[in-house]
Amino acid sequence: MAGVTHRLEAHVLGEGDWIGATEICRLCWLDLGAVMELAELGVVAPRATPPGEWQIPATALPRLRVIGRLMRDLGVNVSGAALALELLEARRQLERRIRALELLVSDH
Amino acid sequence: MEFRDYYKVLGVERAASADRIKAAYRRLARKYHPDVSKEPNAEARFKEMQEAYEVLKDPEKRAAYDELGANWKAGEQFRPPPDWGSGFEFSGGAGRAGGAGHAGGARRGAGRSGWSGAGAEDGGFAEQDFSEFFSSLFGGGSPFARGGGGAARDHHARVGLELEETYRGTTRTLELRRPEVKPDGSVELRTHTVRVTIPPGVTEGQLIRLAGQGAPAAGRGQAGDLYLEVHVQPHRLFALEGRDVTLTFPVAPWEAALGASVTVPTLGGSVEMHIPAGAQSGQRLRLRGRGLPGQPPGDQYVQLKVVLPPASSPQAKALYEEMRGKLDFDPRANLSR
pLDDT block averages, 10 residues each, chain B of length 337: 89 93 93 91 90 90 84 76 61 36 30 36 40 76 57 81 96 78 70 87 93 71 85 95 96 97 97 97 97 95 96 96 95 85
- E strand or H helix at B134: helix B132-138
Q: Is the ipTM of this complex over 0.85?
A: yes
At A60-87, the pLDDT tens digits run 999 999 999 999 999 899 999 999 999 9
CA distances from A108 to B143, B233, B308 (A): 59, 21, 12
- In CATH, what number is assigned to the domain containing residue B55? 1.10.287.110
Count of the separate structural domains present in chain A: 1
Count of the separate structural domains present in chain B: 3
- In CATH, what number is assigned to the domain containing residue B201? 2.60.260.20
Asked if the structure places residue B88 within a domain, the reply is no
Asked if the structure places residue A54 within a domain, the reply is yes
Query: Per the CB < 8 Å rule, is A10 touching B199?
Result: yes
Query: Which is nearest to B152 in space by CA: B184, B109, B104?
Result: B104
Q: Are residues B184 and B159 in the same domain?
A: yes
Quick check: B219 and A79 in contact, CB under 8 A? no
Q: Are residues B297 and B316 in the same domain?
A: yes
Query: Per the CB < 8 Å rule, is A10 touching B26?
Result: no
* Residue B108 contacts A where some CB pair is shorter than 8 Å: yes
How far is Cα B175 from Cα B195, in angstroms, rounded to an integer? 9
DSSP chain A: -EEEEEEEE-EEE-TT-EEEHHHHHHHHT--HHHHHHHHHTTS----SS-GGG-EEEGGGHHHHHHHHHHHHHH---HHHHHHHHHHHHHHHHHHHHHHHHHHHHS--
Asked if the structure places residue B277 within a domain, the reply is yes
pLDDT at B121: 29
Interface of A with B in 39-58 (CB under 8 A): 58
B304 by Cβ neighbours in 10 Å (0-12 / 13-18 / 19+) ranks as buried
- Give B21→chain A minimum CA distance, Å: 14
- Give A55→chain B minimum CA distance, Å: 14
Interface of A with B in 68-97 (CB under 8 A): 68-75, 84, 88, 96
The chain-wide mean pLDDT, for chain A, equals: 88
- Give A79→chain B minimum CA distance, Å: 15
Q: Which of B21, B32, B36 to mutate to test the interface with A (most CBs of A within 10 A)?
A: B36
pLDDT at A107: 75
Please measure the distance between the N-terminal and C-terminal CA atoms of chain A and give it in whole angstroms: 50
Domain ranges, residue B311: 238-332
pLDDT at A51: 66
pLDDT at A108: 63
Report chain A residues whose CB lies below 8 A from the CB of B279: none
Which residue on chain B is closest to A24 by alpha carbon?
Answer: B104
Q: Are residues B182 and B260 in the same domain?
A: no
Asked if the structure places residue A29 within a domain, the reply is yes
Domain ranges, residue A38: 18-105
- In CATH, what number is assigned to the domain containing residue A30? 1.10.1660.10
pLDDT at B82: 67
Asked if the structure places residue B84 within a domain, the reply is no
Asked if the structure places residue A73 within a domain, the reply is yes
Asked if the structure places residue A5 within a domain, the reply is no
Amino acid at B58: D
Query: Per the CB < 8 Å rule, is B194 touching A6?
Result: yes
Asked if the structure places residue A7 within a domain, the reply is no
pLDDT at B165: 96
Confidence of residue A10 (pLDDT cuts 50, 70, 90): confident
Asked if the structure places residue B211 within a domain, the reply is yes
Quick check: A71 and A30 in contact, CB under 8 A? yes
- Give B176→chain A minimum CA distance, Å: 10
Report chain B residues whose CB lies below 8 A from the CB of A13: 206-209
Q: Are residues B75 and B146 in the same domain?
A: no
How far is Cα B94 from Cα B224, in angstroms, rounded to an integer? 17
3-state secondary structure of B11: coil
Asked if the structure places residue B313 within a domain, the reply is yes
Which residue on chain A is closest to B46 by alpha carbon?
Answer: A73
Q: Nearest by CB to B208, which of A10, A69, A71?
A: A10
Report chain B residues whose CB lies below 8 A from the CB of A4: 192-193
B269 by Cβ neighbours in 10 Å (0-12 / 13-18 / 19+) ranks as exposed
